[in-house]
Structures are given as structure tokens and as C-alpha cells.
Amino acid sequence: MALTAVGLCSRALIKIGATAITAFDEGTAEAEVADALYEPARDALLSANPWSFATRQATLPRLADGPVADFSAAFQLPADFLRALGAGAGGRGRGLDCRIAGRTLQADSDTVTLTYIGRPAEEDFPPFFDQALIARLAAEFCIPLTENSSRADLLQRLAEAEFRRARQIDRQQDSQPGFEDFTLIDARG
């Protein structure tokens, strides 16, 4: 079952023994903490790994004003951009020398295809990421709501374990790259 932002926060609150919420604006301490901490925790977890479900590619629109120095062109980053994985030109999503500056990408190219981590809708999160995010949120919510630092430390360790597990599951969804250029194979002729 796909979870919403409120649903993810409610499950994290239940993990720390707090009351679940039905909306971020319901006026309870739990809702205020969840509203303040949810988006930064979600974005940090999404940015921490090249998740297959959050990886996007986009051809970037070129901006009229170029950079002051170093590169010849500037391009607008997508609205859901969190982290760059690579940029390319000519139908490739990697291999181009570039720099992220503010909300732009700078490069010496007429066109740029960006491979990046974007911000998908919560309903599109796979179950393994839901569990990692719930664990991370429980660790984030613990101190403000319970003031129990030893419990927060335990929850942080559990969140790190869930993150490692989620990364492992996500990596298994991709085909493993083969050797394209290996000098020992070439030497055999």
C-alpha cells in the first residue's frame, strides 16, 4: 500500500510511542514536529544514494545569461532536482565536464542531458525505501517528542541499518555493468 507523507510520519510516530497524526496542521506537538522535520529528512535520505526509483534524466533548458567565467553556458536545473549524478551531451547522460552553481548547471555545451536524483511523490516510494524513511523519521522525531537521548541513539542505529538494507535491495534491481574495455582481454587478441 502506498503511503502519503502523513502516513509515513504517523508510522514513525507510532515507532517512538507517540500518537499518530491525520494532518500536518492538526495543532498537536506530534504534527508540528513532523511538519518541521519531514521534508528535510526525506530529501536528505533521497540524496544519500543514487536510488533507482528517484533517478531521472532531463534535457535542460539553456539560460540566456551564461556564467561569468570557466564555462560558456548555463542551464536551468529541474524543479525536483536534489543531486546530480552526471551530465552529458549528444544523447548521453554522463561524460560532460560541468559545475552546479546555485540552481543552474554550467558547462561548455549547447545542450545538456542531466542524470540526477529527483524528488518522487511519496506514493511512488518502494516499500524498502518507506521502511528506511520511517526509521529515519523515528530517529529524528525522538528527541523533540520524548527527550530520551539513549532511545534516539538506538533509533539512529536502526535507521542506519535500514538505510544499508534499502541500498542493498535497490542495487539488486539494476543489471551489473560488464567490462567494456579491459586491456588483458584485448591483449589475448
Contact (Cβ atoms closer than 8 angstroms) between residue 72 and residue 99: no
Provide mean pLDDT across the span 35-49: 97
State the Cα–Cα distance between residues 139 and 142, nearest whole angstrom: 5
pLDDT tens, position by position, 46-104: 999 999 999 999 999 999 988 888 899 999 999 999 999 999 988 787 888 999 999 99
Going by C-beta distance under 8 Å and a sequence separation of 6 or more, which residues neighbour residue 77?
A: 60, 100, 103, 104, 105, 114, 116
Residue 143 DSSP code? H
Secondary structure E strands in 77-172 = 81-88, 98-101, 104-107, 113-118
pLDDT in tens, 173-182: 766 656 556 6
Q: Averaged over 165-176, what is the pLDDT?
A: 85
**pLDDT value at position 82?**
97
Read off φ and ψ for residue 47, nearest 5 degrees: -75, -20
Please tell me the predicted confidence (pLDDT) of residue 178: 60
Residues 6+ apart with CB under 8 A from 120: 53, 54, 80
Give 28's contacts (C-beta < 8 A, 6+ positions apart).
19, 21
Look at residue 188 and tell me whether its pLDDT is greater than 90.
no
Alpha-carbon span 107 to 71, nearest angstrom: 5
Q: How far is CA 176 from the centre of its chain?
A: 21
pLDDT average, residue stretch 28-52? 97
Distance in angstroms (rounded) separating the CA atoms of residues 105 and 60: 9
Q: What is the predicted pLDDT for the residue at 176? A: 60
Q: What's the confidence (pLDDT) of residue 93?
A: 79
The predicted model scores a pTM of 0.85
Band (pLDDT 50/70/90 cuts) for residue 109 is very high
